[in-house]
Structure 1
Amino acid sequence: MTAPVSPHLILVTGAAGYVGSHCLVELLTSGYDVVALDNCINAVEGHLPDTLPESLQRVQSITGRSLLAYYKADLNNATELEDIFSKHRFSAVVHFASLKAVGESCKIPLEYYRNNVGGTMTLLDTMRAHSVRRLIFSSSATVYGTPEFLPITEEHHTGRNCTNPYGRTKYFIEEILKDLCASETGWSITSLRYFNPVGAHPSGIIGEDCKVPNNLMPYITQVAVGRQPFLKVLGKDFKTKDGTGVRDYIHIMDLAAGHVITLDKILQEGWTGWNVYNLGAGTGYSVLEMISTFEEATGVPIPYKICDRRCGDVDELWADISKASSALNWKPTRSLADMCAHSWNWQSKNPMGYRSAAEGDGSANGVRQSPVKVPDAAVASGVKALNGKSKSFDREVNNNDEDVTVF
């Protein structure tokens, strides 16, 4: 049931992305009016002129509510931002807009600093000019770098061991936000440090759409749907219970709920200054646990190959979420099996993500009404076509020719 409409109008940047779109569902369902902004660098635009990006069309379908407005705009364009803020009186901003591929950030660091840090600076200047001083910042556990202790609390050092430009952009932005709150009264800014968001809306209507996945779960689902031949697992010599790396994964809808709860808080009188919270599951799962749980939850086998360990990968990493639990009264409610089942529901109904719908594939509302047939490469018979030849495999595929991202 949709809550009564709130008197507060919220600007959401990066609204068409994975995290942004799922948070929009929670915001609209909770009664907030929303203006959405995205430059669509990584979003699939509607197939008709002057239509919303595909993900935002689906958000409106899920919630039965419309966005108050949508702007295709770039945060680095101060003129565009000024125009948007002049048209609307915002109570707060939820800031997701960001380039976020770790590997890419190492190749084009200037673009990451310009987009992530520069865009945030322009946003803050415009917010201050229009007396909008409540902000939720989409941060990341990458600010912690190599963990000095586990589980990681918010008191863990940040910036000291950041291993890539993407993580450093998040760290620099947090430092800017802290300095702003310390120097000017009236600001209420909360940084939410995500660990590893996975899963999708239970309907399968929206989810994580990746041309080339950078994270484990999208690669697993692309293997399951036949877009990738198998998964490469980077290393089995970690000091963990099964030898593979352990990470903290959180369901995207639990993460989205955390944003709405945080927004409720920062809109209260007396909630001011700088605050930061970890949002994760509060426990770690290994790569092999992810694979086996996915198989159990979906019935789809995932072929994989054990490869050499990547230099610099830590054994384990997970969050202490007690601060968010205490201060926000938030905790995740969905299991790893839910994350896997909902990821597969999305990918099986949308094997090519949003692109097939935006190009007009004839499916109702852009979503297949039943999951795709599991490709022959993933059936339990264990026969795999590689380089035009059939090869048998026993869970670990012995082939080195495929250029597949590794985990």
Structure 2
Amino acid sequence: MKVMVCGGAGYIGSHTVVELIASGHAVVVVDSHANSSPKALERVERITGEKVENACVDVRDAAALAGVFSRHDFDAVIHFAALKSVGESWQKPLTYFDNNISGTIVLMQEMARAGVGKFVFSSSATVYGAPDFSPIPESAALRTASPYGRTKLIAEELIEELSHVDPGFKAAVLRYFNPVGAHQSGLIGEDPSGTPNNLMPYICQVAVGRRPYLQIFGNDYPTRDGTGVRDYVHVVDLARAHVRAVEHLGKGGETFTVNLGTGCGHSVLEVVAAFERVSGRQVPLSYAPRRAGDVAEYFASPELARRLLGWKAEYDLDRMCEDAWRWQSMSPDGYV
């Protein structure tokens, strides 16, 4: 298949481009590089041995998107091109609404004009808000707790509506839990701008000397060690799920929504201990009060993805930490 990958120079996007090429698919990346580096694609080319076409286009730019569609005969589109910081979304809600919702609408409009009807959407477990229980199935109540989560839920609703009224439009909605790790080559990985919002890149930056300590928000949760428990999934496992989703739609699959996680949770302290074990580096800690909106435990029920796509996460926590540390130690300042 020939696949447009919007946001393909980002963390999950770049790993997905690698896995698509490894599976024999042709890829064209569309990325404005507002929150990614073109150097990620140079490294993808080193990993794959393939030249990757990159159109520097914002998904909200209908004319520029139309130009890309006119030059290629795409079978499917994967959409990663969204802003993704929960904290930042509280400070810039309109920016998030514009980029994440408007961008999705414009992209689907241009797909319709180009006659491309297969769509894989990068969603998030934030659509579950504060869940009543874990593991969380896809049927759990949807109630977002941030502007970012709201943008994902609204986009999901738009996709669902379009799939109902347009028989030629089929979509895969993939709800990620906590992507971590990096490609085993160490050439590509997570390179957040500014202060990391997620646990693993923060741990990595402490271990490499960019930050003095890891601040843990809350050590009094009703969990096995008092710290929050989350479902961490290796980014390569996640990327392979996108390949499965594209291929499922390519074979005539109907619109579907699945969770992507391991089905088990690890606490913050367990992640730190695993990282210290595989890296040989000590991660100094500091404790702070709980953050508003955080919950004690949060992990997926991935059974539907296994049944529908034949997908299951393969890599364990030690492998996630090992690969994340290899990336950070090889590129201590990220893509520079």
- The correspondence for 1:336, drawn from 317, 320, 324, is 317
CA offset digits 1:286-333 (Å, max 9, x no partner): 000000010111111111012222232111000000000111111011
- The correspondence for 2:107, drawn from 120, 123, 143, is 123
Determine the structure 2 residue equivalent to 1:26.
19
- The correspondence for 1:66, drawn from 44, 48, 51, is 51
- Whether 1:237 and 2:220 are equivalent positions in the alignment is yes
Determine the structure 2 residue equivalent to 1:206.
188
Offset, 1:186: 1.8
**Cα separation, 1, equivalents of 2:272 and 2:169:** 44
Determine the structure 2 residue equivalent to 1:376.
none
Determine the structure 1 residue equivalent to 2:63.
79
**Cα separation, 1, equivalents of 2:133 and 2:213:** 34
- The correspondence for 2:304, drawn from 317, 320, 323, is 323
Determine the structure 2 residue equivalent to 1:143.
127
**Cα separation, 2, equivalents of 1:38 and 1:310:** 33
- Higher RCO (CA 8 Å, separation ≥ 6 residues): 2
- The correspondence for 1:102, drawn from 86, 91, 111, is 86
**Cα separation, 2, equivalents of 1:60 and 1:187:** 31
Task: State the TM-score, normalized to the length of structure 1.
Answer: 0.81
- The correspondence for 1:287, drawn from 248, 268, 271, is 268
Offset, 1:262: 1.1
Residue segments in structure 2 that go unaligned for 5+ positions in a row: none
**What aligned pairs does 1:164-179 form with structure 2 within 5 A after superposition?**
164-179=146-161
**What aligned pairs does 1:156-195 form with structure 2 within 5 A after superposition?**
156-158=140-142, 160=143, 162-195=144-177
Task: State the TM-score, normalized to the length of structure 2.
Answer: 0.98
- The correspondence for 1:297, drawn from 250, 275, 278, is 278
**Cα separation, 2, equivalents of 1:70 and 1:307:** 42
Secondary structure of the 1:58 match is helix
**What aligned pairs does 1:216-231 form with structure 2 within 5 A after superposition?**
216-231=199-214
Pick the structure with greater CA Rg.
1
Letter in 1 for 2:10: G
Letter in 2 for 1:186: G
Secondary structure of the 2:287 match is strand
**Cα separation, 1, equivalents of 2:287 and 2:152:** 32
Determine the structure 2 residue equivalent to 1:373.
none
- Whether 1:253 and 2:246 are equivalent positions in the alignment is no
**Number of equivalences:** 335
CA offset digits 1:36-58 (Å, max 9, x no partner): 010100112xxxxxxxx100000
Secondary structure of the 1:138 match is strand
Determine the structure 2 residue equivalent to 1:306.
287
Determine the structure 2 residue equivalent to 1:133.
117
**Cα separation, 1, equivalents of 2:245 and 2:163:** 17
Indicate the percent of aligned positions where both proteins have the same amino acid.
Answer: 48
Letter in 1 for 2:63: T
Offset, 1:184: 1.4
Secondary structure of the 2:304 match is helix
Determine the structure 2 residue equivalent to 1:215.
198
Secondary structure of the 2:66 match is helix
**Cα separation, 2, equivalents of 1:313 and 1:83:** 43
Residue segments in structure 1 that go unaligned for 5+ positions in a row: 1-7, 45-52, 356-407
**Cα separation, 1, equivalents of 2:17 and 2:269:** 32
Q: Which has the higher helix share?
A: 2
CA offset digits 1:118-138 (Å, max 9, x no partner): 011111111111110000000
Segments of 4+ moved more than 2 angstroms: none
Question: What's the RMSD between the two structures over aligned residues?
Answer: 0.8
Secondary structure of the 1:281 match is coil
Offset, 1:149: 2.0
